[in-house]
C-alpha cells in the first residue's frame, strides 16, 4: 500500500497549487498526504481504482485549501494524475 511518504512525494511532484515552485518548504503537502493515506487505509481490502481515489484527494484539497466546487473542478485533472500515480 502507498505510504504517506510516497503520497507526499507524489504531491510534491504534482505541486497542484504551485506552492513549491513559489519557494514553499519541501514538506508543504505533508498534512494532505497524511490525510489521503488515512482515507486510503480506511478502504483496506477494497480494490482501489482512480474513481475511489480522486474524490479522496478532492475532499482533502477542499479541507486544506478552502476551495469552491469550481476551484476543485479546475484541479480535477491534477487529482486524476495523483490518483494514477498512487495506483502506480
Chain position carrying cell 506552492: 19
Note the pLDDT tens digit of each residue in 15-65. Answer: 999 999 999 999 999 999 999 999 999 987 678 999 999 999 999 999 999
Identify which of 43, 31, 59 has the alpha carbon closest to the alpha carbon of residue 1. Answer: 43
Give Cβ neighbours of residue 58 (< 8 Å, ≥ 6 apart). Answer: 72, 75, 76, 79
Say yes or no to pLDDT of 1 above 80.
Answer: no
| Domain residue extents for the chain | 4-87
Residue 40 pLDDT: 93
Contact between residue 64 and residue 31 where contact means Cβ atoms under 8 Å apart: yes
Residue 47 pLDDT: 87
Say yes or no to pLDDT of 71 above 70.
Answer: yes
> Residue 13: which pLDDT band, with cuts at 50, 70 and 90?
very high
Amino acid at each position: 500500500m502507498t505510504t504517506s511518504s510516497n503520497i507526499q512525494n507524489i504531491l510534491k511532484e504534482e505541486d497542484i497549487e504551485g506552492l513549491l515552485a513559489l519557494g514553499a518548504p519541501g514538506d508543504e503537502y505533508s498534512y494532505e498526504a497524511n490525510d489521503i493515506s488515512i482515507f486510503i487505509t480506511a478502504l483496506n481490502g477494497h480494490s482501489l481504482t482512480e474513481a475511489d481515489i480522486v474524490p479522496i484527494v478532492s475532499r482533502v484539497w477542499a479541507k486544506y485549501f478552502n476551495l469552491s466546487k469550481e476551484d476543485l473542478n479546475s484541479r480535477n485533472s491534477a487529482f486524476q494524475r495523483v490518483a494514477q500515480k498512487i495506483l502506480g
